[in-house]
């Protein structure tokens, strides 16, 4: 067990190093920050943003002397922002996951990895942890900006809901990355891997819509597999174990399928 763990850590470190010395990773991060920042500013401060809109309502209420229904501005802001971030993940994560195995295949190092004494799933776990860590570091600055904005709220807001929401964001990212890793292990073309992952994630996000149009028990079962539905539950501030279990299932499935696909490779080459 200790050996497996140290193997995982070794793979994890190697992956992380490759990210932090890769100019491409920084370029991706930079684009991500730019789009994320754009969302942040437009939702919070932009002309149609939540602060000016609520100020407008307040002003109207004062002029007309009408009581205004209560609005929880920071809560609405965090929810709206995390909702947009969920969509942003759809575009960013396939780019992060596309190279995980496809790159190794292209370079010819995958055989090395597949025949090494490290088990396949340990490799998969290490790689997933690495890319997830990189993603988490990408969202940290955005989280800090939100924390600054929320700290200016009156009366103060407890950090429970933003924390739960970001936890949900990381879980969603982990599920998508895990599936992306599996797709990446199937092909040696990074572009193809990214496109396929994008399609798969789009399907998993939209399965909710399909399920609603079908209706009935079949629709209900399909609807449960929707990533977006469970993500929305979490960012609304509802802690639900079934959402956690669904995300964990996707993560596990991705790792398992990756291990199987590498296993098949090992057998084919023999």
Partner 1 sequence: MKIIKKNKLGKYLFWLGPFLVAVGLTSGLFTGNWGIISLVFLITGIFISALWIGLQSYQTKWWNRRSTQVSTNALIAIVAVFVILGLVNFLSTRYNFRKDLTEAQLFTLAPQSQELMRRLPQSVKLWIFDVNRNPQDRELLENYRRQSSNFQFEYIDPQARPTLANKFGVKDYGEVYLESGDNRQLVQTLNVNERLSEIRLTNRLQQITNATTTAVYFLQGHGEQAMTSGQGGISQAIQGLGDRNYTASALNLVEKSQVPEDAAVVVVAGPKRELFDNEVKALQNYLNGGGNALLMIDPNTETNLNSLLQEWGVILDNRLAVDVSGTGVGLGPAVPIVTDYGQHPITKEFGNGISFYRLARPLETTPVAGIESTTLLQTKPYPESWGESDQQSETLEFDPETDLPGPLTVGVALRKTIPAETQPTPEASPTPTPRTQTPNPEASPTPTPPEETPNPEASPTPTPPEETPNPEASPTPTPSEEIPNPEASATPTPPAEIPNPEASPTPTPSEETNPISTTEEKPAESTIESRLVVIGDSDFATDGLFEQQLNGDVFLNSVTWLSQQDQQPLSIRPKEPRNRRINLNIVQANLLTLSSLLLLPVMGLMAAAIIWWKRR
Least separation in angstroms between CB 132 and partner 1: 19
Measured from the CB of residue 27, what is the shortest distance to partner 1 in angstroms?
Answer: 4
70 lies in the binding site for partner 1 (CB under 8 A): yes
Rounded Cα–Cα distance for residues 94 and 135 (Å): 12
State the Cα–Cα distance between residues 229 and 134, nearest whole angstrom: 25
Q: Residue 117 in 3-state DSSP?
A: coil
238 makes contact with partner 1 (CB under 8 A): yes
**Count of CB atoms situated within 10 Å of the CB of 189:** 15
Q: Report in angstroms the alpha-carbon separations of 265 from 105, 143, 184, 197, 257.
A: 11, 41, 13, 20, 12
Tell me if residue 103 falls in helix, strand or coil: helix
Contacting residue, 3, 4, 26, 107, with partner 1 by CB under 8 A: 26
**Segment near partner 1 (CB under 8 A), from 85-93, 179-187, 199-207, 231-239?**
231-239
By CB under 8 A, residue 159 contacts partner 1: no
For partner 1, the closer CB: 9 or 68? 68
Residue with Cβ nearer partner 1 (170 or 195): 170
Residue 60 C-beta: closest distance to partner 1, Å: 15
Token couple for 131: 């890319």
Among 32-40, 104-112, 128-136, 186-194, which window interacts with partner 1 (CB under 8 A)?
Answer: 32-40
H or E stretch covering 172: helix 160-186
Nearer to partner 1, 5 or 38 (CB): 38
Query: Which one of the spans 84-92, 102-110, 155-163, 170-178 is the region binding partner 1 (CB under 8 A)?
Result: 155-163
Q: Please tell me whether residue 17 binds partner 1 under the rule CB under 8 A.
A: no
d(CA 183, CA 14): 21
Residue (184 or 226) nearer to partner 1, CB? 226
Task: Provide the token pair at 69.
Answer: 């229904």
Report CA torsion sign: 185, 230, 137, 90.
positive
**Token representation of residue 219:** 């629709």
Q: Residue 102 and residue 186: Cα distance in Å, rounded?
A: 8
| Residue 94 beta carbon to partner 1: minimum distance, rounded to whole angstroms | 19
Residue-wise burial string across 55-79, b where 16 or more C-beta atoms lie within 10 A, e elsewhere: eeeeeeeeeeeeeeeeeebbbebbb
Q: Note whether 19 binds partner 1 by CB under 8 A.
A: no
Q: Which residues bind partner 1 (CB under 8 A)?
A: 21-27, 29-31, 33-34, 36-38, 40-41, 44-45, 51, 54, 58, 69-75, 77, 141-142, 145, 148-150, 152-155, 157-158, 160-161, 164, 212, 215, 224, 236-242, 245-246, 249, 252-253, 256-257, 260, 263-264, 267
């Amino acid at each position: 067990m200790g050996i497996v763990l140290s193997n995982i850590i070794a793979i994890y470190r190697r992956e992380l190093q490759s990210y932090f010395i890769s100019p491409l990773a920084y370029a991706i991060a930079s684009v991500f920050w730019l789009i994320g920042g754009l969302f942040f500013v437009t939702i919070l401060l932009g002309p149609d943003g939540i602060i000016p809109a609520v100020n407008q309502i307040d002003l109207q209420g004062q002029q007309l002397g009408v009581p205004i229904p209560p609005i929880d501005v920071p809560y609405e802001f965090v929810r709206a922002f995390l909702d947009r971030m969920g969509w942003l993940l759809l575009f960013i994560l396939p780019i992060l996951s596309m190279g995980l195995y496809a790159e190794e295949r292209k370079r010819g190092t995958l055989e090395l990895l597949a025949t090494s004494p490290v088990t396949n799933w340990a490799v998969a776990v290490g790689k997933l942890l690495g890319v997830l860590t990189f993603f988490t570091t990408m969202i940290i600055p955005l989280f800090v900006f939100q924390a600054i904005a929320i700290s200016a709220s009156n009366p103060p807001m407890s950090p429970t809901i933003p924390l739960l929401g970001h936890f949900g964001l990381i879980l969603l990212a982990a599920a998508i990355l895990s599936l992306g890793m599996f797709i990446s292990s199937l092909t040696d073309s990074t572009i193809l891997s990214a496109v396929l992952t994008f399609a798969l994630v789009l399907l998993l996000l939209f399965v909710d819509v399909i399920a609603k149009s079908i209706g009935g028990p079949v629709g209900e079962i399909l609807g449960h597999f929707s990533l977006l539905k469970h993500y929305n539950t979490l960012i609304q501030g509802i802690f639900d174990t079934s959402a956690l279990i669904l995300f964990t299932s996707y993560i596990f499935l991705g790792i398992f399928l990756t291990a199987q696909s590498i296993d098949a490779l090992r057998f084919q080459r023999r």
